[in-house]
Amino acid sequence: MNLTDCFTNSQRRAHNVLKKVNLAKMGKDAPDWVSVTGWLNCREQGYLISAWSPEGTLKVAVAESRNSDEMVVFFGDETCFDYASGEPSGSAHRNYFRSTQSEAAAEVATAKFISTIIRQHLERQAA
């Protein structure tokens, strides 16, 4: 048994999404500009990703939605998230991902979305 066996369903699904986000495809320096911490908002339990650039910080929180089986991604600049808790405010953008096929298909779609917004943020840094 390992610690991931103790995850809630929301934590397990968010962890599956993170495993599919490939920083190596975003440039060799991407790991130096990105950090990941645990995040929870009552029933939504997942991860908070921070991507730094000279223009500011992109924050991305991912979890299973507390109201459904959809994956939810909250994203915005650092002013859209509470500094101490990482909880997104009402000004954070949000996208929901559902698949009629399987949970795994929704997790893949969620990871692709997160990869795209982080890559775009880091490309602005390089420009």
Residue 7, pLDDT > 90, answer no
Domain assignment of residue 86, given as a range: 3-126
The domain total for the chain is: 1
Cα distance between residue 2 and residue 41, in whole Å? 24
Higher pLDDT residue, 2 or 90? 90
What confidence tens digit (pLDDT) does each residue in 14-27 have?
A: 889 988 987 777 76
Residue 28, pLDDT > 70, answer no
Residue 33, pLDDT > 90, answer no
Strand, helix or coil at 77?
A: strand
Residue 51, pLDDT > 80, answer yes
CB-CB contact of 80 with 92 (8 Å): yes
Return the half-sphere exposure (C-beta side, CA atoms, 13 A cut-off) of residue 49.
29
Strand, helix or coil at 47?
A: strand
85 class by beta-carbon count within 10 Å (0-12 exposed, 13-18 middle, 19+ buried): exposed
CB-CB contact of 72 with 92 (8 Å): no
Identify residue 36 by its one-letter amino acid code.
Answer: V
What confidence tens digit (pLDDT) does each residue in 60-112 have?
A: 999 888 888 889 999 999 999 998 888 899 899 998 998 777 888 889 999 99
